[in-house]
Structure 1
Amino acid sequence: MPFLVTEINPVFSNIVLLSMVIIAAGFIFNLLKQPSIISYILVGILVGPHVFGLITNEALISDFGSLGLVLLLFFLGMELSLDSLIKNWKLALIGTLFQIIFSILAIAAISSIFDWNFNKIIIFGFLISLSSTAVIIKVLESRKEIETKVGQQVIAILLAQDILIVPMMLSINYMGGDKPEMQEIILQAVGSVFIIGILAWIFYKKHIKLPFEKLILRDHELQVFIAFFICFGFSILTAIFHLSAALGAFVAGIIVASSRSTHWVHSSLHAFHIIFVAMFFVSIGLMLDISFFLDNYMRVIILVVTVLVINNIINGVVFKIFKAPLCNSIYAGSLLAQIGEFSFIIGATAHLNGILNNEEYQIIISAITLSLIVSPFWISLIHRLFRKRLSACNF
Structure 2
Amino acid sequence: MHLDPFMPQMVSIIFIVLALGFILKLFHQPHVIAYLIVGIVIGPWGLSLITDTDTIARLGAAGVVFLLFFVGMETDPKKLVENWKLAIFGTLFQIILSVTFVWILGLFFHWGIERVILIGFVISLSSTAIVIKLLQDSNTLDSKVGQGALAILLAQDLAIIPMLIIIGLYQTDVVENAHVGRQVIGSIAAAALLAFIIIKKEVHIPLAKWLKHDHELQLFAGLGICFGLSMLTAWFELSTALGAFLGGMLIGAAKETQWVHHNLNSLKVLFVALFFISVGMMLDLDFLMANWLQVVSLVIAALLINTFINAGILKMSDFSWKESIYTGALLSQIGEFSFVLAAVGKQSNIINGYGYQLAICVIALSLLISPLWLTSCKKMINYKA
Shorter-chain TM-score tier: over 0.9
Q: Is the 8 A contact 2:90 2:314 kept in 1?
A: yes
The CA deviation at 1:22 is 1.5
The equivalent of 1:346 in structure 2 is: 341
Alignment partner of 1:249 is 2:241 = no
Alignment partner of 1:276 is 2:276 = no
373-382 vs 244-253, which deviates more?
373-382
Alignment partner of 1:263 is 2:261 = no
The CA distance in 2 between the partners of 1:113 and 1:25, in whole Å, is: 42
The CA deviation at 1:29 is 1.8
Equivalent AA in structure 2 for residue 108 of structure 1: W
The equivalent of 1:290 in structure 2 is: 285
- Unpaired runs of at least 5, structure 2: none
Equivalent AA in structure 2 for residue 289 of structure 1: D
SS of the residue corresponding to residue 225 of structure 1 reads helix
Alignment partner of 1:226 is 2:226 = no
The equivalent of 1:8 in structure 2 is: 4
219-228 vs 298-307, which deviates more?
298-307
Name which of 353, 361, 365 aligns with 1:358: 353
Name which of 329, 336, 340 aligns with 1:334: 329
The CA deviation at 1:322 is 2.3
TM (normalized to structure 2)?
0.97
SS of the residue corresponding to residue 174 of structure 2 reads coil
The equivalent of 1:29 in structure 2 is: 24
The equivalent of 1:310 in structure 2 is: 305
Name which of 134, 157, 181 aligns with 1:162: 157
Map Cα deviations across residues 21-60 of structure 1 (whole Å, 9 max, x no partner).
2222222222333221111111111111112111032222
Q: Is the 8 A contact 1:14 1:57 kept in 2?
A: no
Q: Is the 8 A contact 2:307 2:328 kept in 1?
A: yes
The equivalent of 2:100 in structure 1 is: 105
Equivalent AA in structure 1 for residue 296 of structure 2: I
The CA distance in 2 between the partners of 1:298 and 1:9, in whole Å, is: 39
The CA distance in 1 between the partners of 2:9 and 2:181, in whole Å, is: 42
The equivalent of 1:74 in structure 2 is: 69
Q: Is the 8 A contact 2:283 2:365 kept in 1?
A: no
The CA deviation at 1:113 is 2.7
The equivalent of 1:65 in structure 2 is: 60
The CA deviation at 1:325 is 2.1
- Unpaired runs of at least 5, structure 1: none
The CA deviation at 1:13 is 4.9
Equivalent AA in structure 2 for residue 302 of structure 1: S
Equivalent AA in structure 1 for residue 275 of structure 2: F
Equivalent AA in structure 1 for residue 209 of structure 2: K
SS of the residue corresponding to residue 56 of structure 1 reads coil
The CA distance in 2 between the partners of 1:378 and 1:107, in whole Å, is: 22
Alignment partner of 1:93 is 2:88 = yes
Between the aligned residues of both structures, percent identity stands at: 42
The CA distance in 2 between the partners of 1:319 and 1:180, in whole Å, is: 34
TM (normalized to structure 1)?
0.94
The CA distance in 1 between the partners of 2:272 and 2:174, in whole Å, is: 34
The CA distance in 1 between the partners of 2:368 and 2:329, in whole Å, is: 14
Map Cα deviations across residues 336-358 of structure 1 (whole Å, 9 max, x no partner).
11111111111111112211111
Runs of at least 4 residues of structure 1 off by over 6 A?
A: none
Q: Is the 8 A contact 1:14 1:56 kept in 2?
A: no
The CA distance in 1 between the partners of 2:67 and 2:270, in whole Å, is: 11
SS of the residue corresponding to residue 269 of structure 1 reads helix
Map Cα deviations across residues 241-263 of structure 1 (whole Å, 9 max, x no partner).
11111110000000000001111
Q: Is the 8 A contact 1:140 1:151 kept in 2?
A: yes
Name which of 163, 168, 172 aligns with 2:167: 172
